[in-house]
Each structure stands twice: as C-alpha cells, then as structure tokens.
Amino acid sequence: MNFWKALLRLLLQKRIGIPVALAAVGVAAATFAVIPVRYMSSTIMMVSPPVNGGIVNRNAVNPGGGGNPLLIQTEGLSTAVATLVLALSVEETRVELGAPKDGPTELVVNDGSTSPRLIGMDGPFLYVEATSTSAKASADVVAKARERLIRELDGRQRELGAPTATYVVLMDIVPPTPPESDAMDKFMGAAMGFVIAMFLGISIVYGLERRRARRRVARAPAVPEKELVVHAQIPEKRPEPAPAADEDDMPTDSFPAVVAEETNGNGNGKAKAEEPEDESEPEDAVATERGG
C-alpha cells in the first residue's frame, strides 16, 4: 500500500509526472504507428439441397437411378458442412490458399459460430473470413477459399457416385465483402503501450528516489546518542488512619456500672447506674481536719 501511495505522490509532482506522461504518450504513438492496419473480408454461404430431394428414378436420362448418399442421412446437410470445414483446415490447403500458419493472413472457416450475423440462426451455413495486413490479400484468400469449397463439395459427391441431378450445391447468402480496415489492434496496442510506459517510468523514478535517500542517509554525520536520564518521583507513603475501636475492645471502666435496683414492694424495679466513687475527698472536709 505504501508503494502505491509513493508512486501516486511522485506522479502528482510536476517535475516528475509531466515528463513521464509525455514519454508514455510518445511510446503509445510509436506503438500505434508500428502496428499495421489489418483488413478483413468475409462471405456467407449455405449448403442447398436439390429440388428433387436427392433422389431420382431410373429413366432414359439416368438409367442407374438412385440418390445422393449425403442426403440419405438425417443430418446430411450438416455432415456436408462439417466435411468441408475439415477439408479446409488442412495446413497444405491453407498454404495453397495463401494463409499459412503464423503468416500475415489468417483464414477462418466454420459453420457461422463466429459470425455476428448468424447468431441465433440454425442452418447448414459456411462462414469464410480472411484477415490480413493487405487489403488485396484478404480479398484474394476469401475468393480462393470460396472456389475451393465448391470444388471440394462437387468432388466428394462425385467420389460417392451420386447422380449429377442430386448434387448438393453452395449458394451465396452474403457475397464476398470488400476489405474493411480494422484499427482495433492499433488502438489496443497504443493503450497497452501507454499504461506500461507510465508504470515503468514511475517505477524507475521511485527506485532512483529511494537510492538517493539511502545515499543521503549514509553520507550524513553520525549523531551521538544522548544518555537519557529519567527522574522518577516516588510518592510519600501516608500513614493509614487507625481503625475505629469496637465496643468490645474498649475498657470496661469507661462505661458506668449498671447494678440492679432493689425491687420495691410491687416487684417493679429499674436499673440504676452506679456512679463511680470519687477518690478525692471534698476540700472542706480536708480543711476541717487540718484545722482541728
């Protein structure tokens, strides 16, 4: 987290953020110029059965009679499409068409699963797409692939011995389109170049700043450590107050003696407190004795 915060702080500094951003823009522009424009051409065809349903009767024109083996099966048309797709997936065939592996031209032949126009549509379709750095090359590859598919379909039916009147044919649904430029790769490459250049630039600046900081710390004079003296003040211990004395612990002479009073005739009596005797004689009595 601190690393990303440090990168953001560096990016917000004008002396660092502006040069790095300009360098990233330059990298993006160079990437956009280097990546070539690609051109795309495509066509959509459909396998169409014959009018007679693929079966002819024996007559003078066709004494053998019979039907098309491709249409005998329930999934006859789908089988024909799969056969043609596999036939054009061979590397030797692609080289003949001008779309070798890892070459500048890319050829796609399938049942329409990659075509936005055929989404949600079910049928014996054939989709041919060629993408190349040359507009002429993409158009030529599509045209060659279309002709090759027609020849492959006729040759397979001829090998199976199907009557000519029962041949399955390829019908153009969308004729070969003129090459259209696709600059999406250029924009994507430029965006990626900008992001990578920004990240690398800020990372390099961050590393240089950290290196300079370590050098400044290493060159700085060592500061002697000061001894830290801690004066602790110990609070004085105050005497605890004496606990209150219980009545049982008090001396008995501090309370007046309680004696039982003789009961009167009625049997009622009250407790009478016995006064302590005064050891000192009255002063008058002492004086009389001394005078006498």
- Among 40, 33, 282, residue whose Cα is nearest residue 180: 40
Angle at 150 between CA 144 and CA 151, to 5 degrees: 90
State the amino acid at position 45 in one-letter form. M
- As given in the structure block, the two tokens for residue 57 are 């009767």
Largest CA distance in the chain: 196
Residue 177 exposed, middle or buried by CB count within 10 Å (0-12, 13-18, 19+): middle
Euclidean distance between CA atoms 100 and 103, whole angstroms: 5
pLDDT tens digits, residue range 39-53? 999 999 998 887 666
> Is the C-alpha dihedral spanning 17, 23, 24, 26 positive or negative?
positive
8-12, 77-81, 228-232: range with lowest mean pLDDT: 228-232
Q: Which two tokens stand for residue 153?
A: 């379909």
17 vs 195, residue with greater confidence: 195
**pLDDT for 236 beyond 90:** no
Q: pLDDT grade, residue 69 (50/70/90)?
A: confident
Tell me the C-alpha distance between 40 and 60, whole Å: 49
Least confident of 35-39, 70-74, 249-253, 274-278: 274-278
Mapping DSSP onto H, E and C, the string for 121-143 reads CCCCEEEEEEEECCHHHHHHHHH
Quick one: pLDDT at residue 244? 56
Question: How far is Cα 21 from Cα 25, in angstroms, rounded to an integer?
Answer: 6
Q: Which residues pair with 130 in a beta bridge?
A: 41, 107
Q: Three-state SS across 229-246?
A: CCCCCCCCCCCCCCCCCC
Nearest by Cα to 127 from 184, 84, 181: 84
